[in-house]
Amino acid sequence: MIIRQIVILFLLVAAQLFIWSHVGDSSKQVIDQNPNYQKSKNKYTKPKTEAPSVVRTPTFTTSPKTIDSSHVVKPNLNVSDQVNNSLESYQKTLMLAEKKHDYFTMAAALSDIGAYYVKNNNLQLALDNYQKSLKISESQKNKLAILDIASAIGDIYSKQKNYAKSEEYYLRSLKIAEATGNTEKVKLASNALSKLYVIKGNYKNAFEMQLLFKKVTDSLYKKEAQDALIQNQIKNEYNKRHILDSIQQIESSMFYEKGILQKQSEVDSTRKITYLIAIGLILALLLAVTFYRSFKNTKKTNKIIALQKEETEEKKLIIEKSLEEKEILLKEIHHRVKNNLQIISSLLSLQANRTEDAGLKKIMSEAKNRISSMALIHQKIYQSDNLSSINFQTYVEQMTESIDSTFNTQQKEITYFINTNDIALTIDHAIPLGLIINELLTNIHKYAFEDRTNGTVTIVLEEKNNNEIELHISDDGIGIPKELNVNALRSLGLKLVKGLADQLKGNFRFENNHGAHFFVNFKKVELKK
């Protein structure tokens, strides 16, 4: 029922709007069809004045011959301004030009190849290509091309410190520029010669060239100033005409529009009132319908939200309980893994004490330390509040104490400096890194301080700028044998270190610098919160 009333009202309003719109258009039509008004309108209508265009004359024309190729553009010798700046493109252009016997384009392509080699600091190849281009341009008597190429060759000889050759080509370029009246090229050549004569110590010629440079520069400046003055005069004259035409047009337009403004304003006012009334009625009805439907939908939505909220709270409780159970389970797993590893370590220790074979006892002792390092990591994890990472500082400190008690049978005074910069590591990184530290410290205890009763060991774990973590272990002992190669390791411990570094997707290296230095670098992994 409500919707039917809205439709009927909308049709009535549309009909009224059509009537008023038709009345406004009819008034305008009557005015436009008045012959006296049209005559007045046409009398004061004037054409617009167009601004004068400025035509620039190119300074260099192409050869009559052209090559039918989409990638070849030949406005002048500087082909690099319009084609892809690549050696391959220039060489293709040269090949096509040679097939067509287009000497102009051949010279241009060779010149561009020379410029390419100059940019890449290959001066000899640049010189060879420029000389070829110059020879072709001379055969075609292309003075503009000869001018530019001679200047470029002069630059190359100057860079090669062959000042005699450089002077020869600069003078040639200057001579052609003066003969052709090319003041811009005279300016460039005289400036280059002035600098060259200073290097050669010929200050008289340098001064003469500098005077010529200044003279040409002043001439160019005066010409530019005159051109600017002429352009300003043209612009001012155009602006004056445009203003006068605009004034006349405004005066005619005022007379043109005055006749319809009054009647049109009356029509527009009536039409605006009608539009406003119609729009107001439609909006009022639409708002009433919208509020009614919104009220019904709100009640329904509130019921749905209440049910969803209740379900969400129940799911939240279930998830929290599951996470708590999972955390307890993970801690129990780490605890049991640690206990099992400690049992294995104890068994190896007992077995080592019962055997008389020194070599076998040594192997068992090293294996015990490796297992103990892994057990210590699992201990740190189940003792931590965050099961995804461990505090590596305390882990390394405890591991050094364990290794020191195992190997320091001769009561050597070894001082440890440990700094892990509070870096937290995942178990996937902590276990391989812990084994690496165990192997390197074992190696240091066995070999670094054979002839000494004391020593210093430094362990640093830090984050680099490129999202990389570096482990650096060093000592002030006897150092690493010179014949030791990271790619041809014989020691089981160092082989194990390299394999563990590969497991971390990192790299392992070592060097001598007042003792042994070992480095392991790997990418940082963001911890899950």
Tell me what pLDDT residue 475 has: 93
The pTM for the full model equals 0.37
Domain contains 171:
no
Sign of CA dihedral 29, 35, 37, 43: positive
Residue 299 resides in a domain: no
Q: What digits encode the pLDDT tens for the residues 322-363?
A: 655 555 655 556 556 656 776 786 766 666 677 777 777 667
- What pLDDT is attached to residue 313? 83
In this structure, the dihedral spanned by the alpha carbons of residues 155, 157, 163 and 164, taken in order and rounded to 10 degrees, is -110
Is residue 403 domain-resident?
yes
Per-residue pLDDT, 485: 78
Range of the domain at 485: 391-523
CB neighbours (10 Å) of residue 264? 15
Query: Does residue 147 sit within a domain?
Result: no
Report the alpha-carbon distance of residue 176 to residue 25 in Å, rounded: 74
CATH code of the domain in which 449 resides: 3.30.565.10
Confidence at 473, pLDDT banded by 50, 70, 90: very high
Q: Does residue 490 lie within any of the structural domains?
A: yes
**Does 480 fall in a domain?**
yes
Based on the structure, what is the number of domains in the chain? 1
Q: Which residues pair with 461 in a beta bridge?
A: 471
466-482: average pLDDT: 89
- Quickly state the pLDDT bin for 167 (edges 50, 70, 90): very high
- What pLDDT is stored for residue 70 in this prediction? 33
Q: Does the residue 18 lie in any domain?
A: no
Looking at the domain assignment, is residue 417 inside a domain? yes
Does the structure show a pLDDT above 50 at 74?
no
For residues 200-216, average pLDDT = 91
Q: How far apart are CA 9 and CA 472, in angstroms?
A: 85
**Mean pLDDT within 102-128:** 95
Cα separation of 169 and 155, whole Å? 9
pLDDT confidence of residue 100 = 93
Higher pLDDT, 453 or 45: 453
Burial-class residue 361 by CB neighbours within 10 Å (0-12, 13-18, 19+).
Answer: middle
